[in-house]
Structure 1
Amino acid sequence: MKKIIAGTIGNCVHVAGTMNFLTLAEKEGYETEFLGIALPIDTIIEKISELNPDIVALSYRLTPEPLEKVLDELKEKIKKENIKNIKWMFGGTEPTAKVAEESRIFQKIFNGTEDIDEVIAYLKGKDYKRQEFYPKDLISRINSKYPYPILRHHLGLSSIEETIEAIEKVSEAEVLDIISVAPDQNAQEHFFEQDKMDHRLDGAGGAPLRSKEDFRKLYKAAQRGNQPLLRCYSGTKNLLAFAEVLKETIDNAWCAVPLFWYSDLDKRGPRTVRDAIYENQQVMKWHGDRDIPVEVNDPHHWSLRDAHDAIGVADAYLAAYNAKKMGVKNYVAQYMFNVPAFMAPQMDLAKMLAKIELVESLEDENFKVYRQARAGLASFPADLNQAKGQLASSAYLAMAIKPHIYHVVGYCEAHHAARAEDIIESCKIVRGVIRNEFLGTVDMTENLIVQERKNQLIEEALLILEAIKSLNPMAKDPLSDVETLAMAVEIGLLDAPQFKGNSAAKGELTTRLVDGALYPYDNEERRIISEKERIERVLEKNIGKEKLVV
């Protein structure tokens, strides 16, 4: 284990940067010791003799002129005491870093403008600017930085040329690790049947990708800067064929596919719920067979349509369960905060912790879960300054679940589609949050209210899952059986208020936000109903009392 000793020199008492650096070093396996503030040079020399460190990190953040004399003394003492085989580091402001550079004492100098990636790279003994520092697959990229999350952001502008230019700018800025390519809806639904496209809608919601060559151009644009990985939505039709295109052209970092959606439920595709479930499962299997990570981006779709929290938690388990059943080995579990937008932070965190506990109960030697957190789009106000505050606030809360991936949502999205400059600024805001979070924070997950709500949601979600199993006891595995899952939607075990009038769903659920959490609600009796009572009502109405299992 390498040893780092650190302190401030001269009359400098500013230690936040030094302590942050030592915290990062400890997480990377270094033995560290903070020597103190405003250290005399003789004290530093004595400590080197006593502690025999590998690295000596010194900081000075005051007026640069006095530093020159302090470093002259240090240089003289190093020579006099014949101190060798030590790496000297300096941390300060840009003006003091210039003085440190001129002293020729230090092998590494930080001036405060560096990103956390560069600090981590140094501690790992890697050259931040060399290409091999940037792993070319998702899991290696995560492992190269964790416990610091890698960042992703979606990008898809209304023309291929604009999208390519934006990818180049974002890659060169070195602020994120994954670019999520956003095709327009025409591409997602009709890439293989372009005669069916309504070209008046070209560029609506993303880039008008029309050929493999278009995708290759995007990949080429990202081969600069920190070489971010690329990934893309799965499409809403012909998903297996689209998966092959994405693997061939952009080396899709991971697949994102729903379980129930892109169907009659959300009207984003022509598939029935049954056809969607089956095809989505086959897409999971296709990627699992090729060891490509999979995200089943299903649970937040229920919450986005005002389904109560227990349904979101139950579906998080269903999504992961089906991925595992289909042979997925590396699973990306997305946790979307701020859905609904006015959910209380402690209740939001409780919901995510409930999902995590259920999803990660599925882990074994063949199934590994990676957490991905993000803010809900609807939580961003149109006022851009307030939106920046929301981005930072949501990211700070999300850090409590220790995500492997943080999906940055551009602060500008309620106002306009994110361009390169917006993406870079948004990522820098989140990087600032991460930098501060790793100084040490209060563990919000241990809050008693959070824990109580988490346990309640787990209990309720398990009731939903058992009720789904009861629908088809003859099925070999009801929780991955297409007919059983479709029936759960049709009778309303899985339901949402926004499905009212939707022929593919029940649409009878009513919910209400109470004390910052979303519950099933009886409008006639004007009260929250328990999940047990809700399930009993659904089963009694649709199946009969003799089959009640709750």
Structure 2
Amino acid sequence: MNYLNLAEKENYGTDFIGIGKSVDEIIMLINEKKPNIVALSYRLTPEPLHKILEELKDKINKNSVKNIIWLFGGTEPTALVAKEWGIFDKIFDGTEDIDEVIAYLKGKNYSGEESYPRELISRIKSKYPYPILRHHLGLPTIEETVEAIEKVAEARVIDIISVAPDQNAQEFFFDQENMDERLNGAGGVPLRSKEDFRKLYKAAERGNFPLLRSYSGTKNIVQFAEVLKESIDNAWCAVPLFWYSELDKRGPRTLLDAIRENQLVMKWHGERNIPVEVNDPHHWGLRDAHDAIGVAVAYIAAYNAKKMGVKDYIAQYMFNVPASISPEMDLGKMLAKIELVESLIDENFKVYRQARAGLASFPANLYQAKGQLAASAYLAMSIKPHIYHVVGFCEAHHAARSEDIIESAMIVRGILKNEFLGSVDMTKDKNVVERKNALIEDAKIIIESIKSLNLNLENPLTDPETLTEAVRIGILDAPHLQGSQIAKGQLKTRMVSGGLYAYDEKQKKIITEKERINLLLKEAGYLQI
């Protein structure tokens, strides 16, 4: 039945004929229904199967049953018996990964390099509606990282490995004399040359040939993009719009310069038909900006990518941010983002959904962390992602090594196996829908208020000075930005009934978005909306 469910999702017509059928009944039903494929299963002890298959083979020949693809599903011992009789075109023994089953249904045989698409969009299309899986990897030495990539590739459980360069590489790749050697390997792998990147690419040339991508660096980002394209054929670019600047102090750039350079990076990739992810929504969320800002920024980020000429956009939806958000409010927030982002889709701009769990939601207890990984992945399947970014269950305890990555991927694959048998549609839940609609309304207020800062421009949402002003006066703000030299840093937020809202601590109440925005506009000398 599991196989039939998967087959139906691949648009096969299926007919379950029941259990305990005799060979004569099977032959009779074949003559009556004239199928192209017959799938039989047997899960009892293997010894009696010999006589059953001997009879089946004899009656196939006597009844001239031809032009049928025969499939067998059973246990490992019964599969060995089935192989002996030469009846079956494909035998499943229960140890197969869902990828192999899906590949067979799609008419593919994932056995060699040519079977695995080497470009992101093709890889997505080869499996959807099943998501391809991504995991990040960056250990303190190149040698450790190479070995880990080899093991993960051979395990065939991850489609994309996101290389995590250390902080020195991200900031000082092009001026290495400024590196602090004490920080080598801090936060990732110490990559210092194109050849170092090529070693990682070579390590992935095995198993299921996972694609590679890398963080974009925190300065000289266009130069870094060229390195990534030439060395690892970067599967897609992930770049912020506002961040890695004076805003978060993760780079030397002013906010204005960062926005300009980040837009150039989007444009550079768009001109080369390389997919782009603009990851601002969760950057704001990770700093405790309320849900409405995250939804508004999701739209602004995608809008900028589109206007910079990006054709394939990867929209990342990070669940569990903040960690205490309720599942129904979280799903409502994601659906609001999706509705706004995908309103931008046209023949020149395609959007692919990427879901993941928020790192802060993982407990240090490894047993509980595995539960959190499974729970978050199950919720995330509600948005039908094209990519699922697996966060290693161990990340709150230690950096993920190959065995952790493989185990985490297998947990998610277990979720997928059950999810695609059919599940409850949580997107229709009344509370989820109400939250989605409320956040869309609030996000539109934020978006329109930013546009109102410069009505003389055709596209104020892509104007670096207008976007900088939106941060300066507090339209876009976050509690963690308190004391910032560029952001207002006065926003207060609070979790109420499972959602994160702007909050007036003096009056002890939620502030509506229109009220918050108009107070800011008035204070800054702008017309209220």
Q: TM-score range by the shorter chain?
A: over 0.9
* Residue of structure 2 in register with 1:275 after alignment: 257
Amino acid at match of 1:256: A
Equivalent positions of 1:107-506 (< 5 A) are 107-506=89-488
Shift of 1:112: 0.7
Stretch moving more, 532-541 or 198-207: 532-541
- Counterpart of 1:41, as a letter, is V
**2:364 aligns to what SS in structure 1?**
coil
CA–CA distance in structure 2, aligned partners of residues 145 and 356 of structure 1: 21
Cα contact 1:20–1:438 (8 A) shared by 2: no
Q: Tell me what 1:548 maps to.
A: 528
Query: Contact 2:218/2:251 (CA < 8 Å) preserved in 1?
Result: yes
Q: Structure 2 stretches of 5 or more lacking a match?
A: none
Question: Displacement, 1:76?
Answer: 2.1
Counterparts of 2:78 and 2:500, CA distance in 1: 53
**How many residues get paired?**
529
Distance apart, 1:476 and its partner CA: 2.8
- Superposition deviation, residue 78 in structure 1: 1.2
Aligned residue in 2 for 1:81: 63
Q: Contact between 2:289 and 2:493, CA under 8 Å: does it hold in 1? A: yes
Q: CA deviation at 1:428?
A: 0.7
Q: Which residue of the partner structure matches residue 49 of structure 2?
A: 67
- 1:32 equivalent in alignment to 2:32: no
Q: C-alpha displacement at 1:268, in angstroms?
A: 0.9
Residues 400, 443 of structure 1: 8 Å contact kept: yes
SS in 2 for 1:512: strand
Q: 1:48 is aligned with what amino acid?
A: I
* Structure 1 Cα separation of the partners of residues 31 and 413 of structure 2: 38
Q: Which residue of 2 aligns with 1:101?
A: 83
**Deviation at 1:34?**
0.9
3-state SS of paired residue (2:16): strand
Amino acid paired to 1:123? L
User: Which region of structure 1 is more displaced relative to structure 2, 78-87 or 527-536?
Assistant: 78-87
Work out the CA distance in 2 between the residues paired with 1:543 and 1:307.
24
Shift of 1:475: 2.2
Query: Partner letter of residue 409 of structure 1?
Result: V
Cα deviations across residues 352-404 of structure 1 (Å, max 9, x unaligned)? 00000000000000000000000000000001111011101100000000000
- Report which stretch shifted further, 37-46 or 240-249: 37-46
Deviates more, 1:63-72 or 1:409-418: 63-72
Deviation at 1:72, TM superposition (A): 2.2
Q: How does 1:502-521 map to 2 (within 5 A)?
A: 502-521=484-503
Pair 1:539 & 2:521 matched = yes
CA–CA distance in 2 between the matches of 1:373 and 1:280?
A: 23
For the 8 Å contact 2:112–2:208, the answer to whether it is kept is: no
Q: Percent identity over the alignment?
A: 73
Residue from 22, 25, 35 that aligns with 1:53: 35
- The alignment's C-alpha RMSD in Å is 0.9
Q: Name the CA distance, whole Å, in 1 between partners of 2:49 and 2:14.
A: 25
How many Å apart are 1:318 and its aligned residue? Answer: 0.3
Q: Distance in 2 between matches of 1:124 and 1:483?
A: 49
Q: Is the 8 A contact 2:163 2:212 kept in 1?
A: yes
Aligned position for 2:23: 41
Rounded Cα–Cα distance in structure 2 between residues aligned with 1:34 and 1:505: 62
Give the alignment's TM-score, normalised by structure 2. 0.99
Deviations 1:450-506 (A, max 9, x none): 001000000000000000011111223110000100000011000001111111211
SS in 2 for 1:151: strand
Could you tell me which runs of 5 or more consecutive residues in structure 1 were left unpaired when the two chains were aligned: 1-18
**1:52-88 residue CA offsets vs partner (Å, 9 max, x unmatched):** 1111101112222232222222122212212121111
- Post-superposition shift, 1:413? 0.2
Secondary structure of the residue aligned to 1:39 is coil
TM-score normalized by the length of structure 1? 0.95
